[in-house]
Structure 1
Amino acid sequence: MESGDKVEGDEAQWATRSSNRDDTESQSDETIELGPARSQNGHGCADLSDNGDNDDPFEVSFDGDDDPMCPRSMSLARKWFLVCLVGMGSLCVTCTSSIYTSTYGQMNPEFDQSDIVATLGLSTFVLGIATGPLFLGPLSEFYGRRPIYLVSWAMFVIWLVPSAVAHNTATMLTVRFIDGFAGSAFLSVAGGTVSDVFKRDQIQSPMTIISLSPFIGPSLGPLLGGFINYYTNWRWTYYVLIIWAFSLLALMVLFAPETYHPIKLREKARLLRKETGDERWKAPMEKSTKSIPQTIALSLLRPFQLLTFEPMCLLLSLLSAVLLGVIYLFFGAFTLVFGDNYGFNLWQVGLSFLGIMVGMLAGAATNPVWHTVHRRLVHRNHGVPEPEFRLASAIPGAVIVPIGLFLFAWTSFPWVHWIVPIIGSGLFGCGTLLVFNGIFTFLGT
C-alpha cells in the first residue's frame, strides 16, 4: 500500500487502521493475552495473520479477493444462496426447539407426565444448543465449515427419528439434548460462513438473514406445530421436521462448498506443491502448532475471559440472555393468555405467534436504514469504520422491547381485544430483531 489516497473502501481503511493498531499494541504491554484476534467459535480466520507481516516467500496467500481459490470470488448469487441455506438450517434448528411445546396436549397423556416434566425437553434442547458451539466451533478451525455442517446435520436428522418414535420421557429428554447439540453447528458457525464470503463492508445485509433465522424459528415452531397437532397425531410434528432437515442435508451435500480461508489456503498450497514439485509451499494452517485439545480448552476458557475483561461483551451477553429468555417464556404465556383468556384452540394459539414473526420481519425490513446510518458514522469518523457503528440498530431496539412487553402484559385480559397483546408481542419481536441484528453484525466485524 503506497499512500492513503490509494486506499479504496471501508475494508481497506479498516485494514490499515487495524494494522497500525496491532503494531502499536505489539510494542506495548503483552502480559495479558486473550489469544488470537478473531473468535475461536467460527467467526473468522484465526490462523491468518491480521497485520500481514510475513517474511516467508513460500507462505501461500490469496491473490486478492478475485483469486479463484478465495471464497469471496464466488458470484453474488451463489453467496446469497449459501447464506440462505445456512440461515434455513438455523431456522430449522430453532423451530425444532419450540415446536416441541405444541405437542404437550397429546404427548403428556401418552407419556403420563406433567407439563413441568415435559418442559424439561425444551430445556435440554436449549442446553444442547448452548454447549455445542464450545466444541463444534473449534473443530471447524481444523476441519473446515463443510465437514462440520455435514456431519452435525446428518446427526441432527438421525436423532430426530427417535423423537418421532419415542414412547417414554427418558428417551425424549435424551434425544432432545443430542439434537440440540448437533444442530448448534449452524448457530455457531453460520456467522463465520458469512464473513468468509463477504467483505466487512458488505456484511450487514447477509448478517440480517443469520440474525433473523434463529428468532423467526421459535415463533414459527408453535405456529407450524399448532396446525399439525390440531389435525393429526403429535408424531407428525417430527415427521415434518425430518423431511425438512433431510432436504436441507441434500442441498448441503450438493451446493455448500468449503469457505473457511485457512482450509482453502491449505488446498491451494497442496495444489502448488503438486504443480511445482516444490515442498516448500506451505499454508499458514500447515505451520500451525495448535492441537485440537488445546483449541477446545481455549474455546472453553475464552467465554469466561471475555466476560471478565470485556464489559461490552458482558453487557451484550446479559441483554441477549434476557431477550432469549423472554422469547422462550412466551411459549407458555401464549397458551395461558390466548388459550385460557380468549378461548383459542390449538391452531389459533399457534397463529397468535404471527405477531412476533411479523414484528421481526418488520425489523429486518429496516436494514437499509442501518446501512445508511453506518455509512454516515464512518464518514464522520474520517472514513474509518469501527465495529461499534454496527450497534446503531440496537439502540431503538432496546427501547421498543420494553414498550412491547408492557403493552402485552397490561392488555392480556378477556375484556381487551386479543389483537392488542398480539400487537405488543409484535413490537417486542421488532425490537428484539433490531437488537440482535446490531449485536450479530457487531460480532461479525
Structure 2
Amino acid sequence: MTDPPRRTSSTSFRSQHDLHSATATKLNTPSTSHANLHAHAHALDLDLPPIPKRLKADVDEVPFSGRRPIDDEDDNGDETRFQPQSGEITRVASPVLGSAEKKSRSGEQQEEEEEEWKLTLDDDEDPTKWKDSRKWATTALVCLIYCTATLTSSIATGAAHQYAHQFSVTPFHQSLILTVYMIGLAIGPPIWAPLSETYGRLTVNLVSLPGYTLFNIGCALSPSYTSLLVCRFFVGLCGASPQSNSGATISDVWPPAQRLWPMFIYTCAAFGGPVLGPLCGGFLAGENPESHRWRWIYWLLTILGGVSTLCVVLVQRETYRPVLLKRKALRLLREHRSGSGSGTATTEKVEAPRSIYERELLATLDSQRLTVRGVLTTHVSRPFKMLLTELPLAYAAAWTSFAYAVLFIFFEAFPVVFGATYGFTAGQVGLAFLPLGIGILATVPVVRYFNRLNLAIRRENAGRAPPEARLKQGVLSAPMFVVGFFWFGWTARRSIHWISPMLATIPIGAGLIFSFNSLSVYVAECYTAYAASALGAMAFSRCILAVFVPLFGRTMFQGLGAGWAASILAFVSLAAVPIPFLFQRYGPAVRQRSRMAVKD
C-alpha cells in the first residue's frame, strides 16, 4: 500500500478553514472538530497549518451543518466551494490567491473579490409571485375591512334624532357622534402604519380588528351619551388601521403594472362605505325617536368586525417583504445554530466560522432591531415628516382631504336639503346618497381606459412607467366637482324637483374616484418602501379635515343656503384645476430631489 501523495506547503488556499474543510472532504468523514482533522492529517503525513485560537473557538462552539461541501478541486487544490442546501443564500467565490499575490492586489480589487451574500424569498414565499386567486382573495379581504371601517363613520348619523330625544343633546352634540370617530380615525394611521412596517400587515390586523369589535360592543351597550362617544373614539382608533394597511397590502402583493384595478377596489371601499352608511343607519334606526333600535347599528358593526377578524385569521398571510426576510433569517439562523439544516439530510458536515454563514442573517436581523426611542423618533414620526417634507405626498394629501371633506359635508347637508326642503324621512335621506354611489360605479370604463393607457406607456418603456403617469385621470376630478357643486347648489329648492340635486351628485361621485384612485396609486408608486407611512399620512390629513366638517357643514348650508354653500366648494375646485397638469409637467423633477421617493 502506497502512501498518499504529500501536499507541499506551497499549495495556495484561500484560508486555513478551506484547507481543513478540503481535507475533511478527501477523507470522506464528518469534520466535527479541528483536533480530529489534524489527527487524520498526521496519519496521512499531510501538512496542515496551525489552527488559530479564535477560529477554533468560533468553529467548535457552533457546528456548521446547514451546507454541504462540493469537492471539485483541480490538480492544484485551488477551489473548494460550498453549496447551500436550501438555496436561500448564494455565495460567489472569489479567485484563489496566494498570500504573496493577495498583498500585491489593490484594496479596490480585493473588495470586488469579496464573497457576496444575499438573502432572498423563494417563489412560494414572495407575495408578488402568489397565484392570482390568492392575490385577489387577499385584496378582497383587506378592502372589505376598509369598507367596514368607512361604513362605521357615517352609519351612526342615521339615528341622530334618537340620540337627541333619549340623551337630551343639542344638534351640535349630535354631530360629535361623527366627529369623535373621525378624531380616532385621524390619530390611528400615524400609529398603525409604522407598526405595519415594523411588525407586518397581518400582525396589525390581528391587533386592531378585535379592538374594533370589542369597542363596538361597548357602543351597543352604552348607558349614556358620554360613554357612547368614548367608545366611538376607540372604535375609530382601531378602525383606522385599514386606511394605510389595506392599501399597503395591495402594494405588497401586486406589481405596479397590475395594481390599478386592485387600487380601484380599494378606492371604492373608501367611498362606498360612507355612501351606504346613512342608508343602512336610517333604516336600522327607524323613525320613532323613543326606539332603541339605534343600538342595532352597533351590533351590526360588531358582527362585521367579528367576521373580518375570522377571515383575517383564516385567509390573510403576511405580505410585507422586510418582515418576511427577517422571519426567514431568524428561522435559518436557528436551524444553522441547532445543526438541523433546512435541506436534505447528509452525513458530510463541514465546520465553518459562523461569520461566513451568519453574516447576512445577522445583518438582516440587526436591520429590524428596534428600541423604544427608535420607534418614537423614526417610525411613529415618519408619516408626519413625510407629510411636511415630501411635496408629492403633500399635494396628494391636500386634494384627497378636500375630496373626503366634500363627502362629510354632504352628511350634514343632505338632511338640510332633502329633509327640510323636500320633507324626506331619515331613511329617504339615506336613499339620496345612492346617485353618489352610481357616480362612483360609472367611472369603471374611464378607469379601464387609463389603465390601458398606463400599460401602453410601460410597453414603450421596457415595462416601466413614471408615477406621474397615474395623474392623468386625476385631471378629471376638479372639473367634475365644479359641475356637480354648481348643479347641486342652484337646483336644491322647492320649485325644482328633488331628482335634480340628486343627479347632481353623480359627477361629484365620479370626481371622488378620479382624485382618490389616481393619487393613491401615485403615492404608492412614489414611496414603494414607505407605502404604508405615505398612505397613513394621507389618511391622517383627510381625517383631520373631516373632524371639523361636521361641526360647520350643517350650519354653513343653513346659514348661506344650498346655492352659495355649494358654490364655495365649486370655486375651491375651480382653483385646483391646473394643479394636476403642473405635477405631470414638473413632478419628475420634484421627485428626483425627494429624499424618500423613488428615482428614475
Deviates more, 1:69-78 or 1:427-436: 69-78
1-side partners of 2:362 and 2:399: how far apart? 40
Structure-to-structure mapping, 1:241-256, within 5 angstroms = 241-256=301-316
Do the aligned partners of residues 272 and 222 (structure 1) sit closer, same or farther apart at CA in structure 2, a change above 3 Å counting? same
Deviation, 1:382, is 7.2
Match of 1:346 among 426, 430, 436: 426
Structure-to-structure mapping, 1:31-46, within 5 angstroms = none
- Unaligned runs of at least 5 residues, structure 1: 1-52
1:320 aligns with 2:408: no
Q: Report the counterpart of residue 268 of structure 1 in structure 2.
A: 328
- Unaligned runs of at least 5 residues, structure 2: 1-111, 340-353, 526-600
Q: Encode CA deviations 1:95-128: one digit per residue, 9 max, x unaligned.
A: 1111111111112211110121121121111111
Q: Which amino acid aligns with 2:121?
A: F
1-side partners of 2:255 and 2:139: how far apart? 14
1:187 aligns with 2:243: yes
2-side partners of 1:282 and 1:397: how far apart? 48
Q: Which amino acid aligns with 2:302?
A: I
Do the aligned partners of residues 291 and 209 (structure 1) sit closer, same or farther apart at CA in structure 2, a change above 3 Å counting? farther
Match of 1:75 among 131, 141, 150: 131
Match of 1:391 among 471, 478, 493: 471
Q: SS at the partner of 1:417?
A: coil
Match of 1:164 among 195, 199, 220: 220
Q: Encode CA deviations 1:74-98: one digit per residue, 9 max, x unaligned.
A: 2111111111111011111111111
Do the aligned partners of residues 56 and 92 (structure 1) sit closer, same or farther apart at CA in structure 2, a change above 3 Å counting? farther
Q: SS at the partner of 2:443?
A: helix
Q: Encode CA deviations 1:321-353: one digit per residue, 9 max, x unaligned.
A: 211111101011111111111111121111111
Q: Report the counterpart of residue 438 of structure 2 in structure 1.
A: 358
Deviation, 1:243, is 1.2
2-side partners of 1:56 and 1:136: how far apart? 39
Deviation, 1:169, is 2.1
Match of 1:94 among 140, 150, 159: 150
Q: Encode CA deviations 1:239-293: one digit per residue, 9 max, x unaligned.
A: 1111122111111111111111122212322343355447615176412154354
1-side partners of 2:500 and 2:445: how far apart? 22
> Retained in 2: the 8 A contact 1:139–1:292?
no
Q: Which amino acid aligns with 1:213?
A: A
Do the aligned partners of residues 346 and 82 (structure 1) sit closer, same or farther apart at CA in structure 2, a change above 3 Å counting? same
Q: Report the counterpart of residue 500 of structure 2 in structure 1.
A: 420
Deviates more, 1:93-102 or 1:166-175: 166-175
Deviation, 1:378, is 4.1
Q: Report the counterpart of residue 218 of structure 1 in structure 2.
A: 274
Aligned length, in residue pairs: 389
1-side partners of 2:415 and 2:442: how far apart? 24
TM-score normalised by L of structure 1? 0.82
Q: Encode CA deviations 1:196-221: one digit per residue, 9 max, x unaligned.
A: 11112111111111122111111110
What's the RMSD between the two structures over aligned residues? 2.2
Q: Report the counterpart of residue 437 of structure 1 in structure 2.
A: 517
TM-score normalised by L of structure 2? 0.62
> Retained in 2: the 8 A contact 1:95–1:217?
yes
Q: Report the counterpart of residue 372 of structure 1 in structure 2.
A: 452
Structure-to-structure mapping, 1:113-152, within 5 angstroms = 113-152=169-208
2-side partners of 1:306 and 1:58: how far apart? 32
Deviation, 1:161, is 0.8
1-side partners of 2:124 and 2:463: how far apart? 29
Match of 2:317 among 248, 254, 257: 257
> Retained in 2: the 8 A contact 1:204–1:371?
yes
1-side partners of 2:155 and 2:468: how far apart? 35
Deviates more, 1:434-443 or 1:382-391: 382-391
Q: Encode CA deviations 1:286-312: one digit per residue, 9 max, x unaligned.
A: 121543542343345444443443333
2-side partners of 1:291 and 1:402: how far apart? 49
2-side partners of 1:86 and 1:283: how far apart? 33
Deviation, 1:361, is 1.5
2-side partners of 1:409 and 1:116: how far apart? 24
1-side partners of 2:363 and 2:250: how far apart? 21
Deviation, 1:381, is 5.9
- Relative to its length, the structure with more helix (as a share) is 1
Structure number with greater Rg is 2
Q: Encode CA deviations 1:123-168: one digit per residue, 9 max, x unaligned.
A: 1111111111111111112221111101100000000011111122
1:60 aligns with 2:119: yes
Q: Encode CA deviations 1:169-196: one digit per residue, 9 max, x unaligned.
A: 2112211111111011111111111111
> Retained in 2: the 8 A contact 1:71–1:196?
yes
Q: Report the counterpart of residue 240 of structure 1 in structure 2.
A: 300
Q: Which amino acid aligns with 1:180?
A: G
Give the percent of matched residue pairs that are identical in Structure 1 and Structure 2.
31
1:202 aligns with 2:282: no
Structure-to-structure mapping, 1:293-312, within 5 angstroms = 293-312=373-392
> Retained in 2: the 8 A contact 1:364–1:433?
no
